[in-house]
Copies of this chain bind each other. A is one copy, B any other.
Amino acid sequence: MKKANAPKIAIAVAFFLACTKVIFGILVNSMAIVSSAADSILDVISSSINYIAIKKADEPPDEKHPYGHAKFESLATYIQSLIILASGGFIFYKSILKIVHKQAITDLNTGIYIMIISLLSTTLLVIYLTIAAKKTKSSIIEADALHYKVDILSNLGILIALIIIKYTNFQIIDPILSILVAFYIIYSAINLNIKVSMDLLDAEIPAEVKEDILNILKEFDKYHLDTHRIRTRQAGNNKFLDMHITLCRNLKLEEAHKITQLIENRLKEKIDNLDVTIHMDPCDEKNCPGIEACNNHKIRID
């Protein structure tokens, strides 16, 4: 599955919904449908940012971005989380206004039809994006799926409210449902924001992957005197590791390098998309295990 396909389909669905809502909103002169159209236009913009970021993130490292372009994806996801947060805040604000101003909803039938179309197409899109996110392990497609899941909820909220109002004329149900939806949206946005901030803030890789790295280093205990200053960070699916390793001062560089190569290869074999930089330190003269240990190393390596 190509990563870049997911946002393309999302853009198409959002664009279709935006057009439908604008046309019907103007035809029946309904503010509710037009403001829902504004949300769909925001969706088109946000999925377009994702499309560009995914394209960019796949580019290999170059002169300007020597560590690759994966953080374009992280930053786009971050922007996405802020857009979701803002739309949650906006729904909350509009709901309060509705309660204060006691605006009655008109055009119930058109509203219900538009919301059913919107709900069905968005649900199909979310199912597709969720599968795509799992297959590609892409944070940005996951963010996109969350974004449209939030749209399902807000559409469902509007639909239920419209139906209840149609049969009971209980107008206040609309802003009450909207406020509940707004809280859920804000909660989801903050979660996504915290998760992707780790990437942007150069936080350590997840504890279980770090654990795997430390276990692999332990396997090579006999080859080195110690490992220290182990630092990790990640960008999208890519993980970066740099560390120091202490080896016998009497080893030849060729032999010492073979040890780092062994460790590096083993790490890369076990952990996907890992970038490793190992700095070699010589042992102290006092603590030197002596030439015998060096020979020992040599025998093991060859």
Contacts and interface: CB of A to CB of B under 8 A. Distances in A.
Instruction: Tell me if A's interface is mostly helix, strand, loop or mixed.
Output: mixed
A194 B242 CA distance: 28
Nearest to A257: B282
A235 interface: yes
Size class of the A contact interface (CB-based, 8 Å): 35 or more
A197 interface: yes
Contact of A204 (B65, B78, B79, B233): B65
A75 interface: yes
A71 to B, nearest CB: 5
Interface in A22-41: none
A251 B249 CA distance: 10
- Oligomer copy total: 2
Interface in A58-96: 61, 63-69, 71-72, 74-75, 78-79, 82
* Most chain B beta-carbon contacts within 10 A, residue among A201, A233, A257: A201
A254 B282 contact: yes
17 contacts: A61-B231, A63-B204, A64-B204, A65-B201, A65-B202, A68-B202, A71-B202, A78-B78, A79-B82, A242-B277, A249-B257, A250-B253, A250-B254, A251-B252, A252-B252, A277-B277, A278-B279
